[in-house]
Amino acid sequence: MTTVGFLGVGGLAGLMLRGLQGAPYRFLLSPRGAEAAARLSADFGYEIAASNQDLVDRSDAIFVALPAATGAEDLSRLTFRPGQPVLSAMAGTGLARLAEVIGPAKAAIAMMPGYANAYRVGPSILHPQDDFWHAFLAHVGPIHVLDTEAQFTAAATFGALSGASVWWMAHLADWFAAKGLPPETARALVAGTLRGNAEVLLQEDRPLADIAKGVTTPGGITLQLLDFLNGKGALNAWHDGLDAVLKRISA
């Protein structure tokens, strides 16, 4: 059975390992973050490597979820085998930098939301196409392969979008609850509405503009809310925020 080593056992690794339950791999955890590694080992029965180098030596492939600020430097101190598949989910570490620090190993980069991957519905982006990692990520949700690193970097802002959208949904649920709905009803109403609309976008092959027009009746309450939000600059603020994130991760 193929052994995949997890370098970095923080929140993302834990969520990915939840979603990967039942996948045809053996997992080996890095000792970095002893408490988190021990918890994951206890929860899932995975072995903890003696050191990061021990993990690299004993793994067929490496999933990197190290802290972005120090991860590339940590990788540069390790020795990888020629052609060993290495997938980095570290924000801000580009393909060229990853390839530089892992030497003869085979580099690929990815981004995923994490929490949704624990339920096997989170999308992942991958660059470049890699058959091993494509099959690996398919166990935790749909995959979008990006042809260029510029496309990948732009798409990687969806990590921020994912987290911010949870806060947005919580904010909406709080409004409904404040108007007297039971909190569990408010939560389910918001989540169900957005999940339903997301499914429409996934299933329909019509242009998005046509779908949007189809749900907007002239003089109706949808248009009323849109006009109010546009008047406050609320919708354009999402573009501005994503531009700011893109600038940060492109630096």
pLDDT per residue of the chain (251 residues) written in tens, 0 to 9: 899 999 998 889 999 999 999 999 999 999 977 788 888 888 888 999 999 999 999 999 999 999 888 999 999 999 999 999 999 999 888 999 999 999 999 999 999 999 999 999 999 999 999 999 999 999 999 999 999 999 999 999 999 999 999 999 999 999 999 999 999 999 999 999 999 999 999 999 999 999 999 999 999 999 999 999 999 999 999 999 999 999 998 87
Q: What is the pLDDT of residues 8-44, one digit of tens each?
A: 988 899 999 999 999 999 999 999 777 888 888 888 8
Range list of H helices, 158-207: 158-178, 183-203
| Position 65 in a domain | yes
Q: Is residue 120 domain-shared with residue 236, that is, in the same domain?
A: no
Indicate left, alpha or beta for 43 from its phi (over 0: left) and psi (-120 to 50: alpha): alpha
Q: Is residue 181 domain-shared with residue 217, that is, in the same domain?
A: yes
Q: What is the pLDDT of residue 250?
A: 87
Q: Is residue 42 domain-shared with residue 111, that is, in the same domain?
A: yes
Q: Is residue 169 domain-shared with residue 118, that is, in the same domain?
A: no
**Number of structural domains found in the chain:** 2
Q: Identify the domain boundary among 114, 146, 178.
A: 146
d(CA 175, CA 109): 39
State pTM to two decimals. 0.92
Neighbours of 195 (CB within 10 A): 10
CATH of the domain at 226: 1.10.3730.10
CA distances from 56 to 5, 17, 128, 226 (A): 7, 18, 22, 52
| Position 152 in a domain | no
Q: Is residue 112 domain-shared with residue 213, that is, in the same domain?
A: no
Q: Is residue 171 domain-shared with residue 211, that is, in the same domain?
A: yes
Partnered with residue 108 across adjacent β-strands are 87
d(CA 166, CA 190): 11
